[in-house]
A and B are shown apart, each in its own frame.
Chain A
């Protein structure tokens, strides 16, 4: 478990320690080791917290849930491995007007938002490869243009698919010796790199899901990903622009710096328990690392950048902004 500093960064807390209980104690939110003897493990001011993500065997006291409701804190439940299971959403977070605007989006408006997301994703893929000194990325620029001018969602998905294929074909060159990336496999991931990518996409999806929940958007109603029972389509949509930029660059960093080695995987390509803990703390560290925002020019943590995109998305949906401005990094 990791508490980060600063307003937006303290705002999301991950509780991954099994056998703990989240409680409230004199206005603070505390995590208590009920199964073991470690007592209080962490404590956060309720005013700062807006999202609590719990993984696996963690429970809540009833007074805590009451306080979460009062303070507008969203609780997201995940399995120990990070699969989303459901949420507790405070009553005041259910702003009908936002939902209504989201449900009222026309196909054209959805397409415009999706185009911005996918074009940014392709641009960011090219940027990541460029940073790693990988050449031969011109085709990606063509595909980005195609995506940004797509007349239908199918056409957009087509450009996205081709770009992904091209990009993953080049990603191998961004890895140090001893690591290879053959092809992207998902269910199940067939090698260590694919396993790390899948895990990181799940973690990022959870970040995005938290951000959407916090701003009252319905994460299950997508603009590009088809709606399917239990699939947070809008979170998957918004995640697109962060995949190369934040997820893939995090995974390459993990292996290129030797933070995660081949020895740390089980037979079925999962991280061993200790390494999974290391992974989680590295991920949180990564999300709270600062970068200079490409448009706003001030320093933000990656987590804040993600949350700002949820705000910008909501503003585009409710008509406070004309367009959705995806996070696009050009160098």
Chain B
């Protein structure tokens, strides 16, 4: 168990596939350290234009989280964090909601006001989708933070339950789910790769 703050964007990575996150986190297998890029943005990068606030970096010991909100929409009575996404499918993923919930939790501690919704902006369709943040979202964030903090180098997470996620995954060449299924079938028992055998 570590008390290191978890990057909000890592909630998303972890939700996509804990094993993929494990490789990126401990082995930097992808060859690029997205965390380093993420970490660069600090308070100094804040800029404000009209009713928009760009790139707000926040940390919370209470939630064990840190992260940078892309855009903060200050228009109207509510403050709405906006997360920009590239999604070729024209829709966002369930894991994007988790990330957004993380930002909402960070933000409400910062402004000492409840934040009940966030928004996801999709570049491809130029759409802004509002996402109500529920208690389920918050619980999922808390669980994921705990799961990430208790990860260790010695315990490799299992392969994903959903092998289609592997198709576009950048660490697949290293992770080798299908290859492992062939070489050591017992290693994929109970995962989505078992059915591929």
Contacts and interface: CB of A to CB of B under 8 A. Distances in A.
Contact of A296 (B33, B154, B179): B179
A29 B179 CA distance: 32
Give the secondary structure class of A's interface: loop
B174 A311 contact: yes
Nearest to B153: A97
Interface residues of A, number: 21
A7 to B, nearest CB: 8
A303 to B, nearest CB: 13
B31 A50 contact: yes
Given A296-B182, A321-B183, A321-B187, A97 B26 contact: yes
Contacts of A321: 180, 183-184, 187
Nearest to B187: A321
A29 B97 CA distance: 39
B182 A295 contact: yes
Given A97-B153, A321-B184, A322-B184, A296 B31 contact: no
B28 interface: yes
A92 interface: yes
B166 to A, nearest CB: 14
B31 A71 contact: yes
A325 B173 CA distance: 16
Contact of A320 (B28, B156, B173): B156
A232 B182 CA distance: 31
Interface in B31-54: 31-33
Contact of B178 (A95, A296, A312, A323): A296
Contacts of B189: none
A323 B176 contact: no
A325 B179 CA distance: 11
A29 B176 CA distance: 29
Contacts of A319: 154, 156
B87 to A, nearest CB: 22
Nearest to B183: A325
B93 interface: no
A219 interface: no
Interface string B180-197: 101110010000000000
Contact of A92 (B33, B153, B156, B187): B33
Contacts of A311: 173-174, 176
B27 interface: yes
Contacts of A8: 173
14 contacts: A71-B31, A92-B28, A97-B27, A97-B153, A295-B182, A295-B183, A296-B178, A296-B182, A311-B176, A312-B179, A319-B154, A319-B156, A321-B187, A322-B187
Interface of A: 7-8, 50, 71-72, 92, 95, 97-98, 295-296, 308, 311-312, 315, 319-323, 325
Given A72-B32, A323-B184, 19 more contacts: A8-B173, A50-B31, A71-B31, A72-B31, A92-B28, A92-B33, A95-B26, A296-B178, A296-B182, A308-B179, A311-B173, A311-B174, A311-B176, A312-B176, A312-B183, A315-B176, A320-B156, A321-B184, A322-B184
